[in-house]
Amino acid sequence: MLIVGNWKAYVESRAKAKALCVSAKRLASKGDHEIVIAPAVPHIGFIAPAKPDTKEALKFGAQDVSITVGGAETGEVTAGLLRDLGVSYVIVGHSERRARGESDEIVTEKARHALAHGMTPIICIGEVDRDPEAHYLKHVRAQLSAVMSSLSTKERLSVVIAYEPIWAIGKSELEAITPDDLGEMILYIRKVLTDFMPGRANQKVRILYGGSVDSSNVRSLAVGTGIDGFLVGRASTDVAGFAALVKAVS
């Protein structure tokens, strides 16, 4: 499984960042899962090895990337800068960024910047709410199609999709999606992906789930749903909690 810890802005001290990183390294070194941590950018600079060591199992992710390519762009953090820090994954289109006006076009552009610098974009999609008429499926299809239709065949094969329904983010474990509903959604996302990658090609694209995942519900969401991993927010910012979560999946 691919387990990504999105620290958001929960971690504000270097001491805490360091402690989480040391623990995540230990978890990654066991080799049961691919573990990625996505700290705030200044903390990546602080904890990531100066020379990315290919033997290091723990991977680093960024929570966002600039749409600009560098130069006279005050305050921007470009894909080139992230790559130089040793980042391998970039979360794009998180609902907390989309809520600040990020359109599908911007998300697509950011995914392309990440790909152009040899990093894997984790493209977030997900509905605000569920409705009895299942219009939310159309919303998920539209978000996914908007990005996929703009990427080349090769680029499509190099992305990770994170399904994160907004109604489930940042709540308690009881408010996460049910395993049955998750299984259905994974099938649906696979079906949409076949429009862009016919046959078995779409199996190369990993699909993650995010939204109130913790050590108590992760196992039921992992087994029998067809999921390839998790994008974990709050529960990834507690040393013991994240270790318990990773153990629970194993």
- For position 169 contacting ligand PGA by CB under 6 A, the verdict is yes
- Position among 164, 221, 242, 249 found at the interface with ligand PGA (CB under 6 A): 164
- Position among 210, 222, 246, 249 found at the interface with ligand PGA (CB under 6 A): 210
At 227, give phi and psi (nearest 5°).
-75, 150
State the Cα–Cα distance between residues 80 and 118, nearest whole angstrom: 10
Query: Please, what is the minimum distance in Å from the beta carbon of residue 239 to ligand PGA?
Result: 16
State the Cα–Cα distance between residues 81 and 117, nearest whole angstrom: 10
**94 tagged catalytic:** yes
Query: Please, what is the minimum distance in Å from the beta carbon of residue 237 to ligand PGA?
Result: 9
Query: Please, what is the minimum distance in Å from the beta carbon of residue 220 to ligand PGA?
Result: 15
Q: Quick one: 28 or 177, whose CB is closer to ligand PGA?
A: 177
- For position 213 contacting ligand PGA by CB under 6 A, the verdict is yes
- For position 170 contacting ligand PGA by CB under 6 A, the verdict is yes
Q: Which residues pair with 91 in a beta bridge?
A: 122
- For position 102 contacting ligand PGA by CB under 6 A, the verdict is no
Selected catalytic residue, list 34, 43, 94, 102: 94
State the Cα–Cα distance between residues 138 and 201, nearest whole angstrom: 23
Query: Using N-to-C axis directions, what is the helix angle for 239-249 and 14-29, rounded to 10°?
Result: 20
Taking CB under 6 A as the binding criterion, the range among 106-114, 127-135, 182-190, 227-235 that sits at the site for ligand PGA is: 227-235
Q: Beta 87-92 vs 2-6: how paired, if at all?
A: unpaired
| Radius of gyration of the chain from its Cα atoms, rounded to whole angstroms | 17
Dmax (CA) of the chain? 52
**Total residues at interface with ligand PGA (CB under 6 A):** 13
- For position 234 contacting ligand PGA by CB under 6 A, the verdict is yes
**155 tagged catalytic:** no
Compute CA 123 distance to the chain's CA centroid, rounded to the nearest angstrom: 7
Query: Please, what is the minimum distance in Å from the beta carbon of residue 214 to ligand PGA?
Result: 8
| Other Cβ atoms within 10 Å of 13 Cβ, number | 9
- For position 211 contacting ligand PGA by CB under 6 A, the verdict is yes
Query: Please, what is the minimum distance in Å from the beta carbon of residue 95 to ligand PGA?
Result: 7
Residues with active-site annotation: 94, 164
Which residues of the shown chain bind ligand PGA in the complex (CB under 6 A)? 6, 164, 169-170, 210-213, 231-235
